[in-house]
């Protein structure tokens, strides 16, 4: 019997061409594995396409809820945003995909896992760190780094290669954006975006929604309910977190929410420009942030911001299966015990506008915060506090004055 290789399969031209390439160069039996994390109709026709391309078997693993509950929500709770803009849509999905690839490899008794990530991108790092952490014995094959055997450098080359191997599939050589989609987001790279001097062609580019200019003239008010940092209801209706995100994608998309144009620093060292659509995720992250404003004390909130930035770096760099990520997540979870309440926002032409936040654990006390003097705060107490708080400044100023004399 031939050795088996597990191919991370999307059904696109790259991974379709990889099937005969693996058989030709490694003489492996190719088992394709598509991990469904909410990419929608991209899964249509995969089984027939994989078999026509020479795969022995195709697994389609539907794990959207696992993706959301175990990978997305920890990032929401952490407030993890890479370089102040990117909500980690692709980054969060890669570790769970790697985990499932390893599980299928063990089930099939495979000796290797193959992925179609390029040698310039982040995904090669994320996939391979995940595989190394979970299955250090498995061989990893990355065709785009195999210069001696992978000779294809364009879509035309791949189509010609497929035809030469008797694979006639509905792909053409026309260029389009390079995209990655899951329930949380869709990313766009390539074409006019490769030059940062160009404005994005949103009429041609957007998939999940519309630009703010084309959003309705009337705003839309929604409410989100959280329990211990996790969303549990939308507009008062109890729903799974994955269902909430799906519905928020629709609502946010039509209101022009969550479109980000960013030049980011990739793990491999280069800068790259992309546009991300994250309508539901943007609303969810903002609502969670607004709730934490009421509930977390000043020191915890300030320290948690740094933890969130580090959590984002760890996830972006593919280090999910590490002690550091586990430790950071443990801290975040400890802060979420009282992050429970309801957040109302208005969505209007790309903006998320506060409409009121409530929580049984709010630290906001109107008696203290109001300009009207209450029983819990005596204005005269501030004088002594300021004297002590500014004592070091005063001493330094006195020293400098004496020195000048």
pLDDT in tens, 284-303: 999 999 999 999 999 999 99
Q: Is 123 a catalytic residue?
A: yes
Pull the structure tokens for residue 377. 């705060």
Residue 362 is among the residues annotated as catalytic for this protein: no
How many C-beta atoms lie closer than 10 Å to residue 399's C-beta? Answer: 10
Q: What confidence category does residue 42 fall into, taking pLDDT thresholds of 50, 70 and 90?
A: confident
| Residues 345-368: tens digit of each pLDDT | 999 999 999 999 999 999 998 777
Per-residue confidence (pLDDT) for residue 83, from 0 to 100:
98
Spell out the alpha helix ranges (H) of 317-374. 323-335, 366-369
- Domains annotated for the chain, with CATH where assigned, are 4-62+90-164 (3.40.50.620), 184-358 (3.90.1260.10)
**Residues 205-226: what's their mean pLDDT?**
98
> Looking at 10, 53, 91, 123, which residue is catalytic?
123
Query: CA 193 to CA 120: how far, in whole Å?
Result: 16
Local confidence band at 175 (pLDDT 50, 70, 90 cut-offs): low
Give residue 116's pLDDT.
95
pLDDT of 391 strictly over 70? yes
In the block, tokens 């020191």 appear at 299
User: pLDDT tier at 125 (50, 70, 90 boundaries)?
Assistant: very high
Reading the block at residue 362, the tokens are 């709010």
In the sheet where 237-238 sits, what is the strand order?
237-238, 230-234, 220-227, 341-348, 351-358
pLDDT at res. 374: 65
Q: Catalytic residue among 10, 14, 36, 273, which?
A: 14
Q: In what order do the strands lie in the sheet with 178-181?
A: 178-181, 186-189, 271-277, 259-265
186-189/271-277 β-pairing: antiparallel
Known catalytic residue at 137: no
pTM of the model: 0.94
Q: Is 14 a catalytic residue?
A: yes
pLDDT score, position 100: 98
Collect all residues with Cβ–Cβ distance below 8 Å to 44 and sequence separation of at least 6: none
Which residue of the set 36, 49, 53, 94 is catalytic?
Answer: 94
pLDDT-derived band at 307, boundaries 50, 70, 90: very high
Catalytic-labelled residue, pool 69, 155, 157, 178? 178
Cα–Cα distances in angstroms (integers) from residue 233 to residues 98, 194, 252, 336, 362, in the given order: 30, 40, 16, 17, 19
pLDDT at 131: 98
């Amino acid at each position: 019997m031939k050795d088996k290789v597990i191919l991370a399969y999307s059904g696109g031209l790259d991974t379709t061409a990889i099937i005969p390439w693996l058989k030709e160069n490694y003489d492996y039996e190719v088992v394709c594995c598509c991990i469904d994390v909410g990419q929608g109709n991209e899964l249509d026709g995969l089984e027939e396409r994989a078999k026509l391309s020479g795969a022995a078997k195709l697994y389609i693993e539907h794990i959207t809820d696992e993706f959301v509950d175990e990978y997305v929500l920890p990032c929401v709770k952490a407030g993890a945003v890479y370089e102040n803009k990117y909500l980690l849509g692709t980054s969060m999905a890669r570790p769970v995909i790697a985990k499932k690839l390893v599980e299928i490899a063990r089930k099939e008794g495979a000796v290797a896992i193959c992925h179609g990530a390029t040698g310039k991108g982040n995904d090669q790092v994320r996939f391979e760190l995940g595989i190394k952490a979970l299955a250090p014995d498995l061989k990893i094959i990355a065709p785009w780094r195999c210069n001696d055997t992978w000779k294809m450098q364009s879509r035309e080359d791949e189509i010609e290669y497929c035809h030469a191997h008797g694979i006639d599939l509905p792909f053409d050589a026309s260029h389009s954006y390079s995209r990655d989609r899951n329930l949380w987001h869709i990313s766009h790279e390539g074409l006019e975006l490769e030059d940062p001097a160009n404005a994005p062609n949103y009429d041609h580019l957007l998939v999940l929604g519309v630009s703010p200019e084309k959003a309705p003239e009337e705003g839309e008010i929604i409410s989100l309910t959280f329990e211990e940092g996790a969303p549990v209801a939308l507009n008062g209706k109890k729903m799974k977190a994955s269902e909430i995100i799906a519905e928020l994608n629709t609502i946010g998309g039509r209101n022009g929410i969550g479109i980000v144009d960013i030049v980011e620093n990739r793990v491999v060292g280069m800068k790259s420009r992309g546009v991300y659509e994250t309508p539901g995720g943007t609303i969810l992250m903002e609502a969670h942030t607004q709730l934490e404003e009421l509930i977390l004390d000043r020191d915890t909130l300030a320290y948690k911001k740094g933890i969130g930035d580090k959590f984002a770096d760890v996830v972006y760099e593919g280090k999910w299966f590490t002690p550091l990520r586990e430790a950071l997540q443990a801290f975040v979870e400890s802060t979420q015990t009282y992050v429970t309440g309801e957040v109302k926002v208005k969505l209007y032409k790309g903006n998320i506008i506060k409409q009121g936040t409530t929580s049984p654990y709010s630290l906001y006390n109107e008696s203290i915060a109001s300009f009207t003097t209450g029983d819990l705060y005596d204005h005269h107490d501030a004088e002594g506090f300021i004297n002590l708080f500014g004592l070091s400044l005063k001493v330094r100023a006195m020293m400098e004055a004496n020195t000048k004399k």
